[in-house]
Structure 1
Amino acid sequence: MSTRATALTSDDRVVRGARWSLRFRRRTLAVSSILTAVLLVLLVAALMIGEYPVTPAALIDTLRGHPPARLDEFFVLGRRLPRSLVAIVVGASLAVAGAVFQSLTRNPLASPDVIGISSGASVGAVVVMVVAHGSLAQAALGAVVGSLLVAGVIALLTARSGLHGVQLILTGIALSATAMAVVDYVLTQVFVASATTAQTWLVGSLQGRGWADLVPALVALILIVPLLVWAAPGARMMALGDSVSTSLGVRTVRVRWILLAAATLLVAVAVATAGPISFIALIAPHIARRLAGATSFVAAGLMGALLLLASDLLAQNLFSAPIPVGVITITVGGAFFLWLLWREAARRA
């Protein structure tokens, strides 16, 4: 069983170096390439479309450092490019984290916003921003602490049954409700203006995001990706079950904790950067898995980046006035979540 499960298929390819080897599937590579191309098209559209339209020629000149007008430079380099890059990085971080949680728990409903990780990050960030009047960097630290605390509680409460099953979802829902109750209490104890700002942030918004917001999220993603690349083979084997993966030489406990910590940190930084944007972490891995035919952190990340950038484009241009991007993701993601619940119920019937 283990030999067949880990053997190469006709769709698999291996690239070998002197001391390393890389296994990939042709279908996954093709899907990732298409997603990258679509993402680039969306990025160009995001730089051109808006209250101040930018022509293709003006966009090229501006990106080359020779903007035809000051407004071109302001809108492209000062507002749209950093905001779009933040959307790409945050969307990729959330989607990769969602793929990790779903892979670890072997549960299609597991995602940071469903099991409470995002809510824990929200508590930490809101307390730092609203109560302690901290900066964005300090709020990011608060989000990390809050998300790690919730992840630790989930790990302790599900220690016997493992990180899977109905118990995990119910535990996450209970922790998420508790965390949001804490957030609501904090917001009732501050000035109305501060509470309004925090409420907008809690929906998930990219409004006003600039180069300074991009740096911590991008650094976190760059630092955590090597860990995920290292742990990905073990994660694939763990999908066969702990007993099988252990017999194949995978240190399941170490790999599980490394993946859990990496995914939690990605969520924390993403939440601190753009607020708890809902459902990207849930739906992006599912769509990527259906397209690629297998779990792929790369395809999931690209899909998450594409979904959040597309949602932000709709949030800015679809209505008479811009709305928080979280409104779009909640609407689309909520419908997708209901479809997942219906599918799971139909499968078990």
Structure 2
Amino acid sequence: MTAGAPDAPQAPPTAGPGGASAAGLPTGERLLSAGGFTVRVHERTGLVTAILAVLTVLLVVVSLVIGEFRISVPDVAATLVGDAPDRTTRFFIHERRLPRALVAVAVGAALAASGALFCALTRNPLASPDIIGITQGASAGGATVILVLGGGIAQVAAGALVGAALTAGFILLLTWWRGLGGARLVLLGVALGALAMAYVAHLLSRGFVASAVTAQVWLTGSLQGRGWSELWPLAWVLLAAAVVISTQARSMRAFALGDDVAVALGVPVRRARLLLLGAATALAGAAVATAGPVSFVALVAPHVSRLLTRGDRVLPAALLGGLLLLASDLVAQHAFAQPLPVGVVTVVLGGAFFLGLLWREGRHG
């Protein structure tokens, strides 16, 4: 989706020779004019995005209804518009269920958007933050704050962001002169991730029992106790990243054609890559800072989004990531005798995803 300066009102494009529209657009895309701006819309992506948005809203409503204290849909609607039937209902919706559901959506969206950006930047479908070491670096930063510095939640968040930034900077430093693509990046990321987790294991073995337990729960990935105070900082990071991504949309499309083509099209490759890499790192770090290193959402959501939209778009991937993490959290809360950390469910989801990929490759091999 791209925006440009207003011209005359655009007529709907008609198909021309070679499958392109009369306006020179690929088949399945059209120009829409509204409010003085012209927007190019990919029809399939728009449809998938709309469906994912509706499903996310419906799942949020489900998360407000179910639980040990059942709340009817009319009572949920009345509470959301400020007419709660009683204080208990208002407490459960506004202080427990709604903020947790929104945090789940925001964390999943941040992870998935980060994964989609890394895949687009490197042209490597495995370059998600939990494969190339960004998530592990953030985990090491947060664990250092808990087990070495004895910091609280705010300090843990800062440590996770610093850890993610240092890991991304190290990867960038080692790969800049040969580019960010290829198996070399994945192998480097796996090595850095292994080193980071070895460091975390060392800290856990030497820390006090209480601190080690706290760190272990955080390292599993959990939304327990997350509320409005955790949502707003992540929401600001998502907003800032959305601004960067929207301003660099043309550069991202050019990257898909290769750096040489991007340079020929006038794209400032280094500047655009640094901006997008910074946005992807900030998204991954902020998500880990909020809920711990929730695994596989950043890998699974962009892949499934690519299958649904037949393209590399960040918005549907982000919506799908939020939907997947919210669904996983509902399963973790209500499908077992005792609630589980959401990271346990996403690990199972990631394992099933990899088995599905192997089965699919075996059929086509």
Match of 1:330 in 2: 347
Instruction: List alignment gaps of at least 5 residues for structure 1.
Output: none
Alignment deviations for residues 84-141 of structure 1 (CA, whole Å, 9 cap, x no partner)? 0000111000000000001111111110001100011111112123322223222222
Task: Give 1:20 deviation, angstroms.
Answer: 5.4
Counterparts in 2 of 1:53 and 1:151: CA distance versus 1, 3 Å: same
Counterparts in 2 of 1:194 and 1:51: CA distance versus 1, 3 Å: same
What letter is aligned with 1:66? D
Pick the aligned partner of 2:336 from 313, 319, 322: 319
Match of 1:68 in 2: 85
Task: Give 1:7 deviation, angstroms.
Answer: 5.3
- For the 8 Å contact 1:277–1:326, the answer to whether it is kept is yes
Q: Which moved more, 1:329-338 or 1:230-239?
A: 329-338
Counterpart of 1:114 in 2: which secondary structure? coil
Match of 2:320 in 1: 303
Task: Give 1:306 deviation, angstroms.
Answer: 0.3
Pick the aligned partner of 1:235 from 240, 252, 263: 252
- State, as a whole percentage, how many aligned pairs show the same letter: 50
Matches within 5 A, 1:35-50: 35-50=52-67
Q: Are 1:203 and 2:205 an aligned pair?
A: no
Task: Give 1:219 deviation, angstroms.
Answer: 1.0
The higher-RCO structure (CA 8 Å, 6+ apart) is 1
Counterparts in 2 of 1:162 and 1:337: CA distance versus 1, 3 Å: farther
Please give the alpha-carbon distance, in whole angstroms, between the structure 2 residues aligned to 1:253 and 1:20.
29
Please give the alpha-carbon distance, in whole angstroms, between the structure 2 residues aligned to 1:34 and 1:19.
27
Which contiguous aligned blocks of 4+ residues in structure 1 show a shift greater than 3 angstroms? 15-21, 338-347
- For the 8 Å contact 1:31–1:291, the answer to whether it is kept is yes
Counterpart of 2:31 in 1: which secondary structure? strand
Please give the alpha-carbon distance, in whole angstroms, between the structure 2 residues aligned to 1:106 and 1:127.
33
Q: Are 1:221 and 2:238 an aligned pair?
A: yes
- For the 8 Å contact 1:109–1:340, the answer to whether it is kept is no
Please give the alpha-carbon distance, in whole angstroms, between the structure 1 residues aligned to 2:362 and 2:233.
40
Counterparts in 2 of 1:34 and 1:93: CA distance versus 1, 3 Å: same
Task: Give 1:184 deviation, angstroms.
Answer: 1.2
Counterparts in 2 of 1:295 and 1:7: CA distance versus 1, 3 Å: farther
Q: Are 1:282 and 2:286 an aligned pair?
A: no
Instruction: List alignment gaps of at least 5 residues for structure 2.
Output: 1-19
Task: Give 1:291 deviation, angstroms.
Answer: 0.8
Pick the aligned partner of 2:277 from 260, 270, 274: 260
Task: Give 1:261 deviation, angstroms.
Answer: 0.6
Counterpart of 1:243 in 2: which secondary structure? helix
Match of 1:93 in 2: 110
Q: Are 1:294 and 2:319 an aligned pair?
A: no
Match of 1:178 in 2: 195
- For the 8 Å contact 2:136–2:196, the answer to whether it is kept is yes
Counterpart of 2:248 in 1: which secondary structure? helix
What letter is aligned with 2:94? L
Q: Which moved more, 1:334-343 or 1:68-77?
A: 334-343
Please give the alpha-carbon distance, in whole angstroms, between the structure 1 residues aligned to 2:362 and 2:117.
23
What letter is aligned with 1:164? G
Matches within 5 A, 1:241-252: 241-252=258-269
Matches within 5 A, 1:102-117: 102-117=119-134
Please give the alpha-carbon distance, in whole angstroms, between the structure 2 residues aligned to 1:246 and 1:14.
26
Match of 1:82 in 2: 99
Please give the alpha-carbon distance, in whole angstroms, between the structure 2 residues aligned to 1:17 and 1:207.
43
Counterpart of 1:159 in 2: which secondary structure? helix
Match of 1:188 in 2: 205
Match of 2:39 in 1: 22
TM-score, length basis structure 2: 0.90
Counterpart of 1:115 in 2: which secondary structure? coil
Please give the alpha-carbon distance, in whole angstroms, between the structure 2 residues aligned to 1:20 and 1:143.
39
What letter is aligned with 2:117? V
Counterpart of 1:111 in 2: which secondary structure? coil
Task: Give 1:70 deviation, angstroms.
Answer: 2.4
Task: Give 1:337 deviation, angstroms.
Answer: 2.8
Match of 1:127 in 2: 144
What letter is aligned with 1:46? S
Please say which structure displays the higher CA radius of gyration.
2
Counterparts in 2 of 1:261 and 1:176: CA distance versus 1, 3 Å: same
TM-score, length basis structure 1: 0.94
